[in-house]
Amino acid sequence: MMKPFTKLLIMIATLANVGCGSEGFTPHEKEVIAAGEVDIMALTTIANEQDSILLRSKSEPLTREMVESKEFEVLCRRMLATVQDPLNEGVGIAAPQVGLLRRLVAVQRFDKEGEPFEFFVNPEIVELGDDVELGGEGCLSVPEIRGEVRRAQSLVLRYRDAAFEERTERVEGFTAVIFQHEIDHLDGVLFIDKMEAEIEAEEDDETDAEE
């Protein structure tokens, strides 16, 4: 059972990030988006107590005003720079991993030519396929741990695009696995919560997801 003090900290973290009824980014969120002197943002990790509380919190939807703001443009640019950092690369990233409790993810589309990164606003999985497989995963917010997780190999995704228009598409293969991992982040769930077995360092290979 969660301790009352921990519940209070989660409530404080959520209010500090989301605010009370604002249609745009809160002052705190704007500070997070602009913090630092380079595009690469500080990652939240379970190694830090406050970060861990934030990572276990549920994210709130983005509004049209947020998506149409300059801050959103900066956030996407910086999230992309962070997940593509040559010193710590990943194949996907969610806003909570850079300190924002907002429903935004970037996913590398291995199912498309050129394998581009794309951003998805308020994503939700509306259908999971029955084709479940066990696969290796890691996470930028859970350093030095890799494990095996069961994931559906296909899904139907609903989200808002950069124009805040609603879209629906079917995704399959490794890309579908990445979407599940990243959307879990938006609900305060980490891959270690679903991990069936830890992968030893010598068993690791380049096909595992680092999300």
Nearest Cα residue to 95 out of 108, 76, 71: 76
Considering the chain, what percentage of its residues have pLDDT values greater than 90? 83
**pLDDT above 80 for 54:** yes
Question: What mean pLDDT comes out for the span 41-45?
Answer: 98
What is the C-alpha radius of gyration for the chain, rounded to an integer number of angstroms? Answer: 17
166: tokens are: 């609603």
Q: Which residues contact 46 (CB under 8 A, 6 or more apart)?
A: 52, 55, 141, 142, 190
Pairing between strand 117-128 and 104-108? Answer: antiparallel
Residue of 29, 137, 182, 211 marked active site: 182
| Structure confidence by residue, pLDDT tens digits, 132-166 | 999 999 999 999 999 999 999 999 999 999 999 99
Instruction: Decide if 182 is catalytic.
Output: yes
Q: Where are the alpha helices (DSSP H) in 35-173?
A: 49-55, 64-67, 70-83
pLDDT of residue 14: 45
CA gap 25, 33 in Å, rounded? 10
Amino acid at position 208, single letter: D
Q: What is the 8-class DSSP label of residue 196? A: S
pLDDT of residue 20: 43
Question: Which range among 14-23, 68-77, 134-143, 188-197 shows the weakest confidence by mean pLDDT?
Answer: 14-23
Q: Phi-psi category of 29—alpha, beta or left, where left has phi over 0 and alpha has psi -120 to 50?
A: alpha
Q: Which residues contact 132 (CB under 8 A, 6 or more apart)?
A: 150, 151, 152, 153
**pLDDT above 90 for 52:** yes
Instruction: Identify the three-state secondary structure at position 24.
Output: coil
